[in-house]
Amino acid sequence: MPVTTSIRRFSYALAFLLAFVCAATVIAAESSLGANVGANLRSDPWIRPEQAPAPAENLPTSARVVLGQMLFFDPRLSRKANMSCASCHNPALGWSDGLPTATGFDMKTLARATPTIINTAFNPIQMWDGRKSTLEDQALGPIEAGGEMNMPLPELVARLKTIHGYAAKFEDAYPGQGISEVTVARAIASFERTVLSTESPFDRWRMGDEKAVDDSAKRGFELFTGKANCAICHSGYNFTDNGFHNIGVKNTDPANPDVGRFAQKPLKSMRGAFKTPTLRDIGLTGPYMRNGCYTTLMEVVEHYDRGGDDKDNLSINVVPLHLTAQEKTDLVAFMQSLTGAPRLVNVPALPH
Amino acid sequence: MYSQYFPLLRAALAAVIVAWSMPAHADTHAVSQAKKAFAVGVLKAKVGDTVVFRNDDEFAHNVFSLSDAQSFDLGSYKKGEERTVKLTAPGTIEVECAIHPEMKMKIEVQK
């Protein structure tokens, strides 16, 4: 082999080796950067965890989620077999119903708005008045409530046992436990733990994409956490403190006001107080407030700007804000940035 | 022969009895509410003591107890304000903030 050829080959090999080392260094650096970004995201209080927490006795499995999804969409869980969980918590309407207040048993209009179930799996307390603490407890509440699905739980269990296809599904999900109130609740809760918000423009902005939201939304976030005082209650990645506040919403029926949390905790400050709802996917979940009295987010901002309407037992957190027209627009732009692309959901075929 | 000491002994005995029956010195316990938490998980105190709750958050807090040992509702109050409760009976008092139900603490009250 000529010497010049050997030298050429050696230089090619050296160049290749150098290129490999450089590439490996870049890849390692990017991996390291990726890990750092991930760590930063996890520590960002405004970015939600990837998965919802679940109790040790009901860890999610695909069989449990599949069964829970069937039960969630099955109208036979109601007394007249004409209402499912999804009748009010409709995925096509932000997992709510698009109505000011819910429609219950025999088409009766109820007193409170249907809360979205998006991200409710992160909440340690459930319902507008906090009367349920876990998703499993919550799942059975509307089924047996006389004004809602109005289905006595023993009757529900008996009915499900007559539907041939369910036995195998329950066995797959909860081996040896059969069809019971407990397994029905656990399956529905397992499905609800998958109903999570999707990545929103706000999230992309927090992750470093400066173009994900416009300047108005950025100013809105500053106001939200500052002058407008919103974040003292709508705090953290789920935009709720899981607390109870009387924010001065006008009662639909002033002669018979909704006492809210007071029914659970008979304390003065809880009269007319309701749980802070999430603002995730807020663009999908109107009308707003516990009695659906506002159809737009601007109306909500105006409400807080004037310091509420009904001053009886008003939270001391609620005071007039004196926002400018631009500031109100910015707040609305920010809240709209919390809405991600609606999650596609398959409506399951139900067993017979 | 020691009869001259009897009045002195009687006085000393009376002093012991009075001292024994007097309540121990009452203490004041300060408990901060900050970052949506009580600063103390379990507070040990005695009957007659006073607990002062101070709101060190930027928003309203409340303090209440519906315990059998002692129930009270100190209302809602802003940052920098305080609310006080005197402990009147022995037992365990479960204290919460009604506004933020995750805020909980206990007061173990001795006689």
Condensed to tens digits (0 to 9), the pLDDT of residues A238-279 reads 999 999 999 999 998 889 999 999 999 999 999 999 999 999
Are A275 and A243 spatial neighbours (Cβ–Cβ below 8 Å)? yes
Q: Render pLDDT for B43-100 as a digit per residue (tens, 0 to 9).
A: 999 999 999 999 999 999 999 999 999 999 999 999 999 999 999 999 999 999 999 9
> What are the φ and ψ backbone dihedral angles of B71, each rounded to 5 degrees?
-115, 145
Spell out which residues of chain A touch residue B73, defining contact as CB-CB under 8 Å: 267-269
Q: Is the peptide bond preceding residue A287 cis, with omega within 30 degrees of 0?
A: yes
Residues A306 and B35: their CA atoms lie apart, in Å, by 27
> Does B99 contact A267 at a Cβ distance shorter than 8 Å?
no
Q: Kindly indicate whether the domain formed by A56-192 is annotated with CATH number 3.40.50.2000.
A: no
* B102 closest CB neighbour out of A232, A242, A316: A242
Spell out which residues of chain B touch residue A126, defining contact as CB-CB under 8 Å: none
Nearest to A146, CA basis, from A184, A96, A104, A102: A104
Residue B4 pLDDT grade (very low, low, confident, very high; cuts 50, 70, 90): low
Are A144 and A188 spatial neighbours (Cβ–Cβ below 8 Å)? no
Domain B25-110's class?
Answer: mainly beta
Q: Who contacts A11 (Cβ-Cβ below 8 Å, separation ≥6)?
A: none
The domain limits of chain B are: 25-110
Q: Kindly indicate whether the domain formed by A201-336 is annotated with CATH number 3.40.190.10.
A: no
Regarding predicted confidence, which is higher, B51 or B10? B51
* B76 closest CB neighbour out of A124, A130, A316: A316
Regarding predicted confidence, which is higher, A68 or A41? A68
The catalytic residue among A148, A192, A199, A222 is: A148
Reported ipTM: the value is 0.82
Given a cut of 80, is residue B15 above it in pLDDT? no
Spell out which residues of chain B touch residue A261, defining contact as CB-CB under 8 Å: 98
Residues in chain A whose Cβ is within 8 Å of chain B: 124-125, 130, 232-233, 241-245, 261, 265, 267-270, 273, 315-317
Spell out which residues of chain B touch residue A269, defining contact as CB-CB under 8 Å: 62, 73, 75-76, 98-99
Please give the interface size between A and B, counted as residue pairs whose CB atoms are below 8 Å apart: 47
What is the dihedral angle through the alpha carbons of A247, A251, A254, A260, rounded to the nearest 10 degrees? -70
